[in-house]
Amino acid sequence: MVKGSALKSNQRKAGARGSALRAVGRAASTESGAPASEKSAAELDRLIHERLRLGIVSALAGNESLTFNELKEILQTTDGNLSVHARKLEDAGYITCDKVFDGRTPKTSFRLTDDGRRALGRYLDHMESIIRTARER
């Protein structure tokens, strides 16, 4: 059980974190000089921002293509987790999935699409803007 003064202290800390995030969002600017209210942390591409999907897109950005097993090993995740997140990226048009058989063994490979590469670039620009603003404070 949290005592009253400890609870108030935790609430003040949470409020300060929220204020700091809002300040970063307001102070951040894009390369075009757009005010931060237009580009805040809350406006990050949620599809890419999720840890595993960011890992998939980042790994594919550095490689022409990767197989399902290569991605699974790189990202240290399970088959099911990788499948679900890869499907979301595929549905958004950020990656393509090619399935072929090598004899009787299925082989799935993924590639980053041009749309996916552009989305990653926008995401990285947005994150760099937020980081730059945070460092300036």
Is the pLDDT score of 16 beyond 50?
Answer: no
Give one DSSP letter per residue of 27-76, joined into a string.
H---TT---GGGS-GGGS-HHHHSHHHHHHHHHHHTSS-EEHHHHHHHHT
Is the pLDDT score of 9 beyond 90?
Answer: no
pLDDT in tens, 76-93: 999 999 999 999 999 999
Is the pLDDT score of 108 beyond 80?
Answer: yes
Max CA pair span of the chain:
67
Q: Which residues pair with 95 in a beta bridge?
A: 112
The C-alpha atoms of residue 123 and residue 113 are separated, in whole angstroms, by 15
The residue whose two tokens read 């499948």 is 83
pTM over cut 0.85: no
Average pLDDT, the chain: 80
- Residue 123 confidence class, pLDDT cut points 50, 70, 90: very high
Domains of the chain (ranges; CATH) run 4-136 (1.10.10.10)
pLDDT in tens, 35-70: 443 457 678 888 999 999 999 999 999 999 999 999
